[in-house]
Amino acid sequence: MLKIFNTFTKKKELFLPLSKKKINIYVCGVTTYDICHIGHARTFLIFDIIVRYLQHLGYRTNYVRNITDIDDKIINTARKNQEPAFILSQRMIKYMNKDFLRLNLILPNEEPRVTECMQEIIKNVDLLLKNKHAYISDNRDILFSILRYKNYGLLSHRKYRNFSHYDSFSAGKDYRLSDDFVLWKYNNNIKNNSDSLWNSPWGFGRPGWHIECSSIINKYFHNTVDIHGGGIDLLFPHHENEIAQSTCMNRNFSVQFWIHVGMVVLDKQKMSKSLLNTISIRNLLEKYDSEVIRYYFLSSHYRHPLEYSEKNLIKSQNILIKIYMSLLGCSINLSYRSLRRIQVRDDFKNQFFQAMNNDFNTPVACSVLRKLSKYINKIKKNNFYLANILASDLIFLGNILGLFTHKPKEFLFKLDQVFIKHSYIIRNLIKMRNNYRFEKKWHLSDIIRIKLLELGIIVEDHLNKSVYRYR
């Protein structure tokens, strides 16, 4: 039975879907002001795995991932580029789709853009105003009143920071907090912002971030979601604010499981565009096959932070090479899975599914695949029939994780070409380093040595030459 860690309760719980017909899954998508980085890749790849596994278990999934195609960051970037905001968004969506296709991510059933849901957003802001969970500020923005929702902080276990007496509602005296968040940003300067403003009962403006997701969930799921997820950085304030406004909009709002993916960190800092320390998906795909990237992400539990490491990417690549090597020469036939039960097959399968049923424990599941691969190599010479059966099992189990989608020869040939290119670059770097050493420019020589070390390459200096090896 599948157990999932629920961020809301802080414990693993038995997964019992709200409906037998299908599972509703909502994941907060990207904001389209720049190309996607590997932090995005990890989050959406994890939900790709979750959807794949649920489908394997026989569930029908209704997977919705939104696109935030209007936002202050989009508007500011578009102004710098001297282009309309919607043109920038369209271009970034196109790049995103290319990146996600190359990563072999399952397409959502629906991928609504915020700009397509403006009527629903305006309707929900109006509802929150009418039931006095929101108010119009002095600058004519519409804000959600946190103090009007008594259960604020249930998800994140964080409370508002402070409050000050600001105004009173018609129903009686109340307080407004510095943490009250924007539902609608007023801006009547339509002349200079025609592509990023919408008319509403309160004048022109655009929605706040949090109301967008609440409105999309209301539209596509009628406020009933089995799994709601995103990166751990969205837990507060985004998901906390979602719960507050969605509950106040509709008392029947229900999320069965909250799932949050750990951040990708670089030099112990969160990888984010605002910190200017991101590595784009497209750049990573220039260096590594998508399955290498997938295996690298799966080798760490999804709830833990992941330190970006070229060394571990190379390690993942080497593991996949060994697994594909074990499949060489085997006759792969997935119909073998229907053959009589063999104890060794059951052992590997039970270990794999036990891991996946334990909160999608992909590191353990991947270790089972490695053990199965080693066992195939061990018996290939003496029991080719069983090796073929187990090879088919290996492909089948790997496919559940989106792995082993290549033919072994094709994958290995592709990596050979990468290695040839890689070796050429390394040799040139070492040649450049030797020149710096000859000129006694030791600091430049050390920079190249450190860079090579980051790539998992150790340079050994001898009397007349330098050689390298992979660590």
Residues 230, 233: Cα–Cα separation, whole Å: 8
398 lies in some domain: yes
pLDDT tier at 173 (50, 70, 90 boundaries)?
Answer: very low
Residue 65 sits in a domain of what CATH number?
3.40.50.620
Indicate the pairing of strand 306-307 with strand 264-266. Answer: parallel
- Asked whether residue 203 falls in the same domain as residue 149, the answer is yes
Helix (H) / strand (E) element for 177: namely strand 176-177
pLDDT tier at 339 (50, 70, 90 boundaries)?
Answer: low
- Asked whether residue 207 falls in the same domain as residue 194, the answer is yes
Weakest mean pLDDT among 109-113, 202-206, 221-225, 455-459:
455-459
Residue 395 sits in a domain of what CATH number?
1.20.120.640
Residues 242, 258: Cα–Cα separation, whole Å: 12
pLDDT tier at 445 (50, 70, 90 boundaries)?
Answer: confident
26 lies in some domain: yes
Q: In the chain, what percentage of residues exceed pLDDT 90?
A: 68
- Over the stretch 88-102, which tens digit does the pLDDT of each residue have? 999 999 999 999 999
Give the per-residue pLDDT at 326. Answer: 92
Share the mean pLDDT of the chain: 89
Reported residue count of the chain is: 471
- Asked whether residue 116 falls in the same domain as residue 74, the answer is yes
Average pLDDT over residues 282-298: 96
**What is the count of structural domains for the chain?**
3
- Asked whether residue 66 falls in the same domain as residue 107, the answer is yes
pLDDT tier at 334 (50, 70, 90 boundaries)?
Answer: low
Give the per-residue pLDDT at 369. Answer: 98
- Asked whether residue 377 falls in the same domain as residue 422, the answer is no
pLDDT tier at 290 (50, 70, 90 boundaries)?
Answer: very high
402 lies in some domain: yes
- Over the stretch 341-350, which tens digit does the pLDDT of each residue have? 677 788 999 9
- Asked whether residue 147 falls in the same domain as residue 23, the answer is yes
- Asked whether residue 322 falls in the same domain as residue 421, the answer is no
Give the per-residue pLDDT at 161. Answer: 58
The binding site for ATP comprises: 273
46 lies in some domain: yes
- Which parts of 307-358 fold into alpha helices (H)? 310-327, 343-357
Contact 93, 66 (CB under 8 A): no
- Over the stretch 358-405, which tens digit does the pLDDT of each residue have? 999 999 999 999 999 999 999 988 898 899 999 999 999 999 999 999
- The helix/strand/coil state of 75 is helix
Give the per-residue pLDDT at 174. Answer: 46
pLDDT for residue 17 is more than 50: yes
Give the per-residue pLDDT at 456. Answer: 66
- Asked whether residue 322 falls in the same domain as residue 203, the answer is no
- Domain of residue 335 covers 311-406
- Asked whether residue 66 falls in the same domain as residue 200, the answer is yes
End residue of a domain, out of 233, 249, 266: 266
Give the per-residue pLDDT at 298. Answer: 99
Give the per-residue pLDDT at 438. Answer: 83
Residues 351, 359: Cα–Cα separation, whole Å: 14
Give the per-residue pLDDT at 160. Answer: 66
- Asked whether residue 127 falls in the same domain as residue 202, the answer is yes
The binding site comprises: 28, 213, 238, 242, 273
294 lies in some domain: no
Of 237, 226, 230, 228, nearest in space to 182 by CA: 237
- The owner of tokens 């004048």 is 203
The binding site for Zn(2+) comprises: 28, 213, 238, 242
End residue of a domain, out of 266, 301, 332: 266
- Asked whether residue 222 falls in the same domain as residue 140, the answer is yes
End residue of a domain, out of 380, 406, 432: 406
pLDDT tier at 267 (50, 70, 90 boundaries)?
Answer: confident
